Structure 1
Amino acid sequence: ACTGIGDADGDGVCADVDCDDNDPAVVGQPGSSCDDGNPNTINDVIDSNCNCAGVAVPCPGVGDADGDGLCADVDCDDSDPGIAHQPGDACNDGNPNTIGETIQADCSCGGGSTGMAPILTCDRVDGLRDDAEEQPSGQIRLASNDLELINDANSGNQVVGLRFGGLRIPRGAYIVSARLQFTAESPNNDNPADLTIYGEASGTPLGFRGSGFNLSSRPRTNAMANWLPSEWTAAGQAGFAQQSPDLSPIIQEIIRRAGYASSSAIVLLIEGTGRRAAESYEGFAARAPQLCVEYLIAPPNFDCPERLADFGAPCDDGNPGTYNDQVDANCNCAGTPAPCPGIGDNDGDGVCADTDCDDNDPAVTYQPGDACDDGNPGTIGETIQPDCSCGGGSPAPALSCARIAGSSDDAVEAQSGQVALTGSKLELAGSSSQGSQLVGLRFSGLDIPRGARILRASLQFTVADTQNESLCELRIYGEASDNARSFAGSAGDISRRPATNASVEWMPSEWQAPGTSGHAQQSPDLSAVLQEIVGRGGYASSSAIAIMIDGVGRRAAQSFDGSASEAPVLCVEYLPPAPVVPRSGGAAAPETSTAGALLVPPARQAEVLENLSVYPNPATDRLTAAFTSAAEGPARIQAVDMNGKAVLVQERDIHKGENAISLESLSLPEGIYVLQVISGSSVQSVKFIIVSE
């Protein structure tokens, strides 16, 4: 049988393939099955070197019986490759009165919250006594043909009052969003314009009167909003540049006051410096200022009603020396003191020595990037520079808007991963035929310089149809890349893109008529998402920016292929970065940020991390993260809950080869979390479950 080859040991395996032709007990040959003794491998076979080796199991110690890529401990049916959902995935329990359901730990669909779509109400100044200007002398002008915000060339800085009597917001409603919309009366700007908007702290504010100081003498809300408007370049403009920032905290404070009723009027007061000229009721009634408010009749059942937040919700404790700021069990906002490993904090002010402008003086806590005032009345938006000087101000913010410009700039990805590039509409974020889906939007031509300070950013859609699903909750995030490429038809082209840490939740009110493009179709402020993108090391002003939207419910917007002139628009107001001034005797200091909980460090090395797994899973109060690394150095270990909140952040040193990092004394509520290990630009993620003992 082995002619010309032989079989020395007579075991029936020819010498050219027998792994040991002198031992009849060894009958293995390349390609034959074997057992390498490793429980974390499968399909073990003898290789060309006569070694027994298997293919690494993607779920060591757990398994993946149906081969769908989901480990048995989280796959809701590990015998059916067609069932790929797992705890934490979005789902729909079929109840039209709930929103935000996810696959639960027992693989049922639930966890949704009750409610309804926000209600939109808008009211325009509609009477002689509903807009007014108060000059520095206290004189009141009730019949001006324009509203000068704020500087009057003849009299100086004044106070402007606006009264809205027809909003009909129920007392105690939960305010989702609120914005003022002006129309430019002329491009007669005086830069810089720095405006502050307050509300009148009254449940029953009266109309304006001609008596002296009738505006400035009114009680003011504690809540206020700062607005640095960009240039108004032409009369008749009524767009993003003429729209205020979100005023929801102001309106929320007013409608919770004793004496307020749905029939009450709401008064807003504006003061500041600089000038933007807006139409008044007397000058052009149809273009008078308009206030639009979205609200929920039954506010969410918050753990901390005064903060409108739940325990564990992110917040800002105002301390630059802390991170992971969260609402605690006493409804206080508190963060974790920021450590300075290997750097130090000599004066103990919570600012690390490498960024503290004076690490020997605990009273000096400012650092590069903090707001400051250089004393120049002709500039706004100054920040502490890398050399610890105050500078970088601008005469006025710049405004940049870009519309979707081609078929490959908007796309929809179905749950199957199939990507459509030429649909006639963008269904946010569910299709009646395809179920939940992911929408991608790509904008080129914004020309925002790297390192710019983003003041405001918003998406504007146009209604394609009114087949709304009342409970609609969307999540908007960006693509974490230096220059987003066009969308392609390949499977998973949108979902495979890296996501920014920053994201924004949006509960849009009902979309009432096709062709509408107003307040209800405008996203919340996306400045955090844009700031993360333009701060990336490889981003350039010529880079394209991609935005992704997922969620539950349905709102239908026009796409490029449905109506190019009504395709989505992204508008951004920003302050250009100051020239980088190096610290004495050295290169320019790198820009860093400690704002927010989920920040990926600047890239330091190539992709280095692989094969992240955690055990035990489920866990109780301890967890071990195992992975391999191609380099040694610092890494960030962080855990994130299914709402995107960081619940754990640690800095650890890792080494080449296999790593096992123990996380002890965990104190996390039962639920599903994502563990991330970050080293340079390399990120590995894995889900884990916390259960009670």
Structure 2
Amino acid sequence: MYRKRLLAALSVGSLLLVGCSSGIREPPLVGQITNNQVLEVQVLASTDDAEESASGGVTRSSTTLELIRSASNQTVGLRFTGLTIPSGATIINAYLQFRAKASTSEATSLAIQAQAADNPLSFSGTSYNVSSRARTTASVAWSPAAWTLGTAGSAQRTPDLAPVLQEVVNRPGWTSGNALALIVTGTGKRVASAFDEGSANAPLLHVEYSTVDTPPVPTVEARISTGTDDAEESASGGVTRSSTTLELVRSTSDQTVGLRFSGLEIPRGVAITNAYLQFKASKTTSEVTSLTVQGQAADDAVSFSGSSYNISSRTRTTASVAWSPAAWTSGVAGSAQRTPDLAPVIQEIVGRPGWVSGNALALIVTGTGQRVARSYEGSPADAPLLHIEYSATDTPPNINRFAAEPGSVVKGQPISLSWSVSDPDGDPLSCTLDVNGDGVADHTISNCRTTTSQTHTYTTAGRYWPTLSVTDPDDASDTATASLHITNSTTVTVAAAGDIACDPLDPDFNGGAGTATNCRMKATSDLLLAMKPD
């Protein structure tokens, strides 16, 4: 179960933001947290509540809002600013709260919509400025009960307006902090306080919403960092590692280009969600070019050497990605200089059994045509860059073996607790060892891959169940328990120093204890016999 409690309040002028308790809930998705929030904001200016008559005249300075009949049925507009609701948030509940400015009880039927706008402007005095605004498809009907002067209770509160607000915050252009306008039409009459009657009594919008906090996508970026990590191999096999440019791929002939990226902190077996190479153009070129990008099929690719065919002779991944780059303009490092998604190629490498986080990988480019990119030697800051995004899904570590050796010893004698651990992702592992099995860690082992045992001496007899826990950097863990028996030793004195030691097998033995004929000598020290109680 996931447990989270949010208790926070922020008051800014007439804006109140309150975090409410989400209680106990299951998270909607692994790695996501649902936060429920409450937002309340009042009308904050004369130009943010307005009445439009049937003839189109707009009044913005009245101390009351007639919902809806004044001299005739009118259209009422209400605008609320600074709504810190994230785009795409789920609106759970919403309502308008009015304060009655007159006692009224006639039958009244109202409809509430929102302006279909990302960030609506204040109301102007222009004719029909309220009714001419585009409105949401969503609409909520309200038949309010009788109102009593001075009351701001449930009778003055609209039904749930969530469908109306949801349509607005789902708009592509909605941004947290925008304004929202509501438009009220209908028949009948209820009279509410307006902003100009007193800001404390102005209409209030109450919104409850939820958001999902998604952790950022793990991203690794590595740039060529040494001259031996970008190289060109000619058709005759000669390898150049010191050029200031990389011809992709025609130079005097079509060549093979190698790019190596080191220190890639990517756990083994993660899902690669996106990857690309980013080049910077060293020359303006536009000829038709067709390239293929593969990876070296190796766990930890080594730098390129000057040996003939050192690039093309390397075993390559089955996965490959085709690239037909658009025209390049010298000095530009944009989308035209960026490969398509290389995820299949990178996935094949990091999925290898021998891949370990921190290893290097090499990419190999072949094809026809020409695009000319900056190399490390040409400009280290503009050298090719590898961008990788991956899923943070973590595979837990494993305790392959945990044992107490020997399984039974006398108290006071040392015992060895040994183990073997592994991690499918290749992550570093730490362990805690609870020698008594009481839930308290007695030893912490920072690297329990290389340190594989711990000696402990038990001073009290009994049965023990020591527990080993292994944890990776993402807090995924595994636990194992061993069993051992610590015993007491029992010492029995057979003969004490100075006692006469008699030999019952002596032929002179006659059953007479203490006689010289059947006893040979005195014991010179205690003769002890140690026995286990079991």
The interval holding the TM-score normalised by the smaller chain is: 0.3 to 0.5
Looking at CA atoms only, which structure, 1 or 2, has the larger radius of gyration?
Answer: 2
Q: Which has the higher contact order (CA 8 A, sep 6+)?
A: 2
What TM-score, normalized by structure 2, do the two folds share? 0.38
**TM-score, normalised by the number of residues in structure 1:** 0.30
